[in-house]
Amino acid sequence: MLRLSGSRAVDVVRRMAPDWHGESRPRVPLLTTLRDPSEDRVLDHALVTYFEAPASYTGEDLIEISTHGGVLVPALVLSALESAGARGARAGEFTQRAYLNGKLDLVQAEGIRDLIDAGSDAGHQVALHQMEGGLSGRLAKLREQLVALEAMLVYHLDFPEEDEPPVPLAEILQAGEVLCAALQDLLSTAPEGELIKEGALVVLAGRPNAGKSSLFNALLGVERAIVTAQPGTTRDALEASVSFEGYPFRMVDTAGLRERAEEVERLGIEVARRYVRHAEVVLLCVSMEWGWGDPETAFLRELGMEKPVIVLQTKADRGSHKDDPDVLAPRERAGLRPPTELAQRIHAALEVSVIDGRGLGELRRVLKNLVFRGVITGGGLGQPLLTRRRQTEGVRLALRETQAFVEALEEGLPADVAATHLRPAETALEELLGIVSPDEILDRVFADFCVGK
């Protein structure tokens, strides 16, 4: 489908299809013979639909041409459109025009971008909510609160000599604090909001042959990683996107650390190291065959304190582990138990098997609840979430300035001095919504759109 937008769209199409009179029948697809104006050669019979300004996606006259598709036909029609006076659109230009014509604000435009990109149910719902104005509404309300705060302050400042100004300072302070809390609330949705857009990184770790690649494949439902009985066969880090219960994850299977022998000897554990730093969760695979040991302890120690770790007892279909004290969950075991401070860091321990599938559903559920806890226990996916760096930065700036305002008042600075913080806070929210829109912001928002969107 080819899409034309602008005041001359009708002229351009008329040049290719003199008999077409779609402008008298807006929104009705009309079967139209398209010709190359320079050669008078028929290119295709296409459905041409006219959307009359301002009732179109861009708010301008807009025409959609549905050709029979393929490679050559749309290319021929495109170049004929260009010789009839059209030019190729820039990335995101349709949505940018929609924004410039007041059809949507910048946050909604970002929602559209995310909707197109969505790879999970959760991502889809959040993007849809954002496109429909959910987040914009929340931001607009915050901005109103800021404006109201400014108004209170002006009122307060206008009556400096009277004993009791119409708005007492305490009331202004309190309004400032309420606003800070609201901004903080929204800001706290950012980490998970960004993960819903990007997918949460989950890294598989474990000794060679622990069953990492098998698990990777089982969770993905495709034969992606190479599995053999030979230890150390995975040559590169493999990354794949997958949804667990509708929430997006990126699974990473281990790179061939075999080639870097010192590291293997030091840890005895394979892990996609460069991913670990960015991981939300590390899955430590411990085979039922050998149980917990020094390599696992060394690995946990190495990992640092802040990454949640889920210990997976892999190959749980093999024999009865209950009879073998060496393969019990690490917490329960006496001799090989990890040091207490490490055991506390194990978020969960599960038995899994890719042969009979045990524990896999539970693992998906545990991962979802661990990573997206805030969203799930908070307002769910129908609440406004910050999903982009730009949004997070804007709200953070607004919060910082509002806090500075409150602190200045608390320190007893004159109200008009404190007030200098409110304007930048307001500007931050206005730039987010695109109420004021310096060019570099527009470039930043629309640069990563595809052509034709």
Residue 213 lies near Mg ion (rule: CB under 5 A): yes
Nearer to ligand GDP, 212 or 388 (CB): 212
Residue 313 lies near ligand GDP (rule: CB under 6 A): no
Q: Which of 108, 213, 402, 403 binds ligand GDP (CB under 6 A)?
A: 213
Residue 222 lies near ligand GDP (rule: CB under 6 A): no
Residue 234 lies near Mg ion (rule: CB under 5 A): yes
> If you ran DSSP here, which 8-state letter would residue 165 be given?
-
Query: Are the CB atoms for 97 and 453 separated by under 8 Å?
Result: no
Residue 209 lies near Mg ion (rule: CB under 5 A): no
Q: Which of ligand GDP, Mg ion, none does residue 67 bind to, with CB < 5 to 8 Å depending on kind? A: none
Q: At how many degrees (to 10) do helices 212-220 and 360-371 cross?
A: 80
**Structure-token pair, residue 384:** 């406004």
Number of residues that bind ligand GDP (CB under 6 A): 20
Nearer to ligand GDP, 81 or 354 (CB): 354
Q: Which of 97, 124, 212, 368 binds ligand GDP (CB under 6 A)?
A: 212
Residue 314 lies near Mg ion (rule: CB under 5 A): no
Q: Which of ligand GDP, Mg ion, none does residue 136 bind to, with CB < 5 to 8 Å depending on kind? A: none
Q: From residue 223 to residue 262, what is the string marking binding to ligand GDP with x (rule CB under 6 A)?
A: ----xxx-x--x----------------------------
Q: How far is the CB of 213 from Mg ion (least distance, A)?
A: 3
How far apart are the C-alpha atoms of 313 and 258, rounded to whole Å?
A: 23
Contact region with Mg ion (CB under 5 A), list: 1-9, 71-79, 95-103, 207-215: 207-215
Side chain identity at residue 368, one-letter code: K
Nearer to Mg ion, 272 or 445 (CB): 272
- Which residues, numbered 344-373, are part of the site for ligand GDP (CB under 6 A)? 353-355
Residue 214 lies near ligand GDP (rule: CB under 6 A): yes
Q: Which of 239, 317, 326, 393 binds ligand GDP (CB under 6 A)?
A: 317
C-alpha distances out from residue 276 to 24, 132, 141, Å? 61, 36, 39
Q: Which of 45, 274, 318, 365 binds ligand GDP (CB under 6 A)?
A: 318
Kindly list the residues in this chain that would bind ligand GDP in the complex (CB under 6 A): 206, 208-214, 227-229, 231, 234, 314-315, 317-318, 353-355
Q: State the residues that interact with Mg ion by CB under 5 A.
A: 213, 234
